[in-house]
Amino acid sequence: MALNDLLTGDALAWLGTEGTDSDVVLSSRIRLARNFRQIPFPNRADISQLGEVQAQVEQMLPGLEQGLGCGFDRVDMERLTPLQKEVLIEKNLISRNFLRQPQHRVAFISEDQCVSLMVNEEDHLRIQCMAPGLDLEKTFAVASQIDDWFESQLDIAFDEKMGYLTSCPTNLGTGLRASVILHLPGLVATRNISSIVNISPQLGLAVRPYFGDDKESIGCLYQIANQLTLGFSEEELLGNLKSAVQEIVAHEREARKALSVYMKDSLEDDVWRAYGILRYARSLSEKETLTLLSKVRLGIDLRIIGEVTAQCFPQILIGSRRSYLQNLAANENLSKNEIDRLRAERVRAVLQQCSAPKG
């Protein structure tokens, strides 16, 4: 796939609407941090050492493509404009850390956009796998398979006692960071979200808003991830996260049920108003779009709205993002008003496109 399609496409493979518990769990992600023996970690390596790492990964790639039955696109950070890099971040395909320095920073992104290998990020190799819905085991199996392939030919930094060695001691051991994106409008509306955010550290988990900051979350999206990486096996870490997520999912469904019973009229009004604005507005800010989108998704999941399918959600989510729109318009110098106008246009088009067939 050409880089252009990667940037302008409006589908987010990892944010599909199918998958387990997809009414609440939008996406699962696994990240493994790996380093090669002897070569200093990227923050201390010189240019030739970084190049060596890149060459080693690159040489392993054809075999990996064969093993997975899936091609990879090579995305060289030195050749991208700042705007293009921002779009890849908005699409969750690379991390912000990756942009600090461009030299020998290369991402290999699978054709289905579910796997992203970052070379010379904080660690020599970051394997990131994503899937829609709650699917940590299978996603980990893919990441582990990729890890096995690299490990079959290259010497990975490993210590019998401390496990996989990583640049930051917070990733040491398994090098595993598993995270899940949750849509929690019910818990936000019933003001139960803070108790979940407060309890999670006791379970070794971190919950934070996906958009916005700690004071104010936008669009009721939250990310939950394991904090600890050492002293537990991968299965234990994933099991712990999964059971916490399932617990949250149960609470969220209960909250939604309560809302639809006790606040039926105001909830319906809220949902339809949100839909009306997205459907017809001529100018939308990012924050407004995400807030309204959350309500529309809730309406679809509760079968209040039948006119559009849930498929509009990922498309509007990416279609609301600033850099994505700028890149689409091929103009970096758009004013805020112009972007707001473009965004509204985009949202209207997506809703038109995702209209459910009547009858």
Partner 1 sequence: MLCDDCGRNEAVVQITLLGPEGRVEKHLCQHCAANYGGYLFPTQRKDMSVNDFLKGVFNYAPEEEQKDDQTAEQERPQAPREDELVCPNCGMSYHDFLQTGKIGCSVCYATFRRQLEPILRRIHGSSTHSGKIPHRTGGTLETKHQINLLRARQQEAVEQENYELAAECRDRIRALEQQLALQEGGVQHGAE
Residues in region 197-236 near partner 1 by CB under 8 A? 228-234
Cβ pair 116, 109 in contact under 8 A: yes
CA distance 156 to 290: 42
Which of 98, 122, 127, 103 is CA-nearest to residue 51? Answer: 103
From residue 235 to residue 254, what is the string marking binding to partner 1 with x (rule CB under 8 A)? Answer: --x-----------------
- Phi, psi of 357, rounded to the nearest 5 degrees: -60, 135
Minimum CB separation of residue 187 from partner 1 in Å reads 26
Residues in region 27-86 near partner 1 by CB under 8 A? 35-41, 43-44
Minimum CB separation of residue 43 from partner 1 in Å reads 5
Kindly state the number of chain residues that form the binding site for partner 1, as judged by CB under 8 A: 43
Minimum CB separation of residue 223 from partner 1 in Å reads 15
From residue 303 to residue 332, what is the string marking binding to partner 1 with x (rule CB under 8 A)? Answer: ------------------------------
Nearer Cβ to partner 1, position 23 or 122? 122
> DSSP state, 303?
T
CA distance 53 to 146: 16
Minimum CB separation of residue 30 from partner 1 in Å reads 12
Nearer Cβ to partner 1, position 148 or 332? 148
Residues in region 120-139 near partner 1 by CB under 8 A? 122
Nearer Cβ to partner 1, position 54 or 315? 54
CB atoms within 10 A of CB 170: 13
> DSSP state, 222?
E
Minimum CB separation of residue 145 from partner 1 in Å reads 12
Contact between 349 and partner 1 (CB under 8 A)? no
- The torsion defined by the Cα of 85, 30, 350 and 71, in degrees rounded to 10, comes to 70
Nearer Cβ to partner 1, position 32 or 344? 32
From residue 164 to residue 193, what is the string marking binding to partner 1 with x (rule CB under 8 A)? Answer: xxxxxxx-xxx-x-----------------
> DSSP state, 77?
G
Q: Tell me the residue ranges of DSSP E strands in 101-196.
A: 106-110, 115-119, 125-132, 158-159, 163-164, 176-183
- State the SS3 of 340-351: HHHHHHHHHHHH
Which residues fall within 8 angstroms of residue 353, CB to CB, at 6 or more apart? 312, 315
CB atoms within 10 A of CB 18: 9
Minimum CB separation of residue 159 from partner 1 in Å reads 6
Residues in region 144-163 near partner 1 by CB under 8 A? 144, 147, 151-152, 154-163
Which of 126, 112, 147 is CA-nearest to residue 33? Answer: 126
Nearer Cβ to partner 1, position 202 or 333? 202
> Which residues in this chain contact partner 1 in the complex, by CB under 8 A?
35-41, 43-44, 122, 144, 147, 151-152, 154-170, 172-174, 176, 228-234, 237
